Structure 1
Amino acid sequence: MVAETTNQKEPTISWMDTPPRSPLLRHYSAKMIAGMPWLDKLSAPLQKWTNSLFGSPKTPEYRIKDFLAGVWFGHPLHPVLVTIPIGAWTSAMVFDLAWLANEDDDGMAWSADMMIWLGLAGAAGSAATGIANWVDTDGQEQRTGMLHALLNGSVTVLNLSSALLRATGQRKTAITLAGTAYALTIYSSYIGGELAYSNAIGVNRVIPEAGSDEYVAVLDESELVPGKLTRVDAAGMPAVLLKDGSTIHAIAATCSHLGGPLDEGSYEDGVVYCPWHNSGFRMCDGKVVNSPAVYSQPTFAVRVRNGKIELRRLEHA
């Protein structure tokens, strides 16, 4: 084995801030974003303002965030809505190209104009749902999300300008702007893919965990303190127990939002709150009470036999 030598005078860089080596597109894209610390100066006040707008999980206005995040929908709403502007502006580009081939085709011109406006409407919904997912990020993910938002904002401004120019008869200039916007859309979509698939923002963090189809002993009943969140291992899957009177509840201990340890959170009125971002889940059935989580926690059947608490996983994440 060959030992790796480093220059002791060079500062150590965390792996979290080190771009992937391959492929080159990911490497240079991540390196570019890492070299944009000015994005943090934009994202910090925006995140603070957005959090103040949404309020805390126990306030009525927080329900707006729950709606935008997709709690009612069962998974994040943002990926659904982004298909509207991307699809509409793709169609607009096709219609514009057809019009350029035959500038007397008013039908193609009208169709392209309608698709530009449809995309703008969809962009508004995409932005609102996107910020509801982004507001709970930090570090490199927060910076990447800020760049994603700035690119999308630029795309929206360019397409709005294109729509207005079309109304004044300056169609070729409008098509140029729309084409530029579409090129930015491609890269912005790539950034969005990095957030979703590389950084796992909005991904269910519980689904890879196992659990057992059979009851497994996890703890002596005498060791479970009433009202205290207690972490146990259920055949390789972390679970959190809570004894309420004579009833013992058990749900997955890994928060479905970003993997926070629910056993280190707080418990109030039947709800456990994640210590990282305050996602709330009902202990009795794992249901999401408030965002940023949108996926319910898997639950366990609980029984006590021979003084041992036993758990069996009940459903898919």
Structure 2
Amino acid sequence: MSDPLRQAKRPVTPLSGPYGHPLHPALATVPIGAWTASLVFDVGSRLVHDPSFLTRGSLWLIAIGVFAALAAAMFGFLDLLVIAAGTRAFRIALLHMALNLAVTAGYGAGWAWRALSDHYDQVEGGQILLSAVCLVVLGCSGYLGGRLAFRYGVRVADETAQAEGFTVTKRL
């Protein structure tokens, strides 16, 4: 195993999670879930008689997603530090980070747009469109994150460590 590959598997600090179990992917599930649910609430606000509970819920979900995304970004940055500069994995990681930051900024702007509107009627079409576009970009970024982990093995345990899980043991 080459040194850059070995380096990309090890945490730069214990804060980023133990070997073979990084915190960034686990934390990333929170904004993904919150923002997906917010879009469901947005669409629902267009379908019910009294949409105020859905528009308020969506506003909260977007805020939760933004704060969780910033936390996930901090841990993702720690994972970025272990990837050798100039490699394909590093370029993909930079694009993954840029897309995620753009999505977070988009949701932050969407939150401000909603919060400043001072009404809780159904969510406006433009706000729904912004959320949908952000989710599409987030999906593209998630694909890149998956490529980093599953194709290039960034912060994934090496095959020797993985083999422990496939050792057949006798049960007594």
Is 1:201 the counterpart of 2:154? The answer is yes
Is 1:81 the counterpart of 2:27? The answer is yes
* Structure-2 residue corresponding to 1:148: 96
Q: Please, which runs of 5 or more residues in structure 2 have no aligned partner?
A: 1-11, 168-172
Is the 8 Å Cα contact of residues 161 and 174 (structure 1) preserved in structure 2? no
Q: Please, which runs of 5 or more residues in structure 1 have no aligned partner?
A: 1-61, 214-317
Matched letter for residue 177 of structure 1: L
Moved over 3 A (4+): none
Cα deviation for residue 174 of structure 1 reads: 2.3
Is 1:131 the counterpart of 2:102? The answer is no
Query: Which structure shows the higher strand fraction?
Result: 1
Q: Which residue among 157, 171, 180 is the counterpart of 2:105?
A: 157
Is the 8 Å Cα contact of residues 149 and 156 (structure 2) preserved in structure 1? yes
Cα deviation for residue 74 of structure 1 reads: 7.1
2-structure distance, mates of 1:77, 1:144? 19
Deviations 1:247-274 (A, max 9, x none): xxxxxxxxxxxxxxxxxxxxxxxxxxxx
Is the 8 Å Cα contact of residues 70 and 76 (structure 1) preserved in structure 2? yes
**Relative contact order higher in (CA < 8 Å, ≥ 6 apart):** 2
Cα deviation for residue 102 of structure 1 reads: 3.1
2-structure distance, mates of 1:101, 1:200? 44
1-structure distance, mates of 2:41, 2:91? 35
Deviations 1:96-127 (A, max 9, x none): 11012237310111111111001001101110
Matched letter for residue 75 of structure 1: H
Q: Which residue among 70, 74, 78 is the counterpart of 2:17?
A: 70
Structure 1-normalised TM-score?
0.43
Matched letter for residue 207 of structure 1: A
1-structure distance, mates of 2:21, 2:41? 33
| % identical aligned pairs | 29
Cα deviation for residue 145 of structure 1 reads: 0.2
The change in CA–CA distance for 1:104 and 1:197 in structure 2 (over 3 A counts) is: same
Cα deviation for residue 134 of structure 1 reads: 1.1
Deviations 1:17-69 (A, max 9, x none): xxxxxxxxxxxxxxxxxxxxxxxxxxxxxxxxxxxxxxxxxxxxx8xx421x1
